[in-house]
Chain A
Amino acid sequence: EPEVTQTPSHQVTQMGQEVILRCVPISNHLYFYWYRQILGQKVEFLVSFYNNEISEKSEIFDDQFSVERPDGSNFTLKIRSTKLEDSAMYFCASSDGQGATYEQYFGPGTRLTVT
């Protein structure tokens, strides 16, 4: 069964450093998403991406964040200058359509620890 994969599973970085979280969505999917979950808190929507551009983003997704689909298979989330409060699980998801009935398939997540 096709699945969304994410690398690395755990990333430790120092405050102020740039990190890139990688995701390989399901191959025929067209819509891509990033979410984050701070430990003990809710899963929060960050951004959705379609046709090589951001289609929607939340208030969390500020100028420190960017997304890219560099090569037709990977979907990346870059945090330019990490802060302690960026420590969280980051989930990537993909779907083959947009709208309430299209299931988003989630990856296993990358745990980001900022020290």
Chain B
Amino acid sequence: GEDVEQSLFLSVREGDSSVINCTYTDSSSTYLYWYKQEPGAGLQLLTYIFSNMDMKQDQRLTVLLNKKDKHLSLRIADTQTGDSAIYFCAETKVTFGTGTKLQVIP
């Protein structure tokens, strides 16, 4: 069955890079997504990557995809306190991971 796994918690200092990891199981996923959920808010699409790409960069965000290992990561450069949120990865058929709570320490 489809399953998406993430670590539950990550704590980083302001200015450092954050790396949030995700593993998925559906090898037919054409796109993989990263969503951000701030407290009391809905899910906001941050970025997505097409499955034939290895990397996608969008300002401070870098997505890395290892299709062989079914591993997806989101790197946030120069992490700010406003980046504190829960980050979800998701497969094409909107199967979400459990979310990783990013805590940024000033």
Give how many A-B residue pairs fall within 8 Å (CB-CB).
Answer: 43
Q: List 14 A-B contacts (CB under 8 A).
A: A35-B94, A35-B96, A42-B95, A42-B96, A42-B97, A42-B99, A43-B99, A45-B93, A45-B95, A93-B43, A101-B48, A104-B45, A105-B42, A107-B42
Interface residues of B in 29-60 (CB under 8 A from A): 30-31, 40-45, 48
Does residue B4 face the partner (Cβ distance < 8 Å to A)? yes
Query: Count of chain B residues with Cβ under 8 Å from any Cβ of A?
Result: 20
Q: CB-nearest residue of chain A relative to B97?
A: A42
Identify which of B31, B43, B93 contacts A91 (C-beta below 8 A): B43
Using CB atoms and an 8 Å cutoff, list the residues of chain A in contact with chain B: 4, 33, 35, 40-45, 91, 93, 100-101, 103-109
Bound-state CA distance A40–B99 (Å) is 9
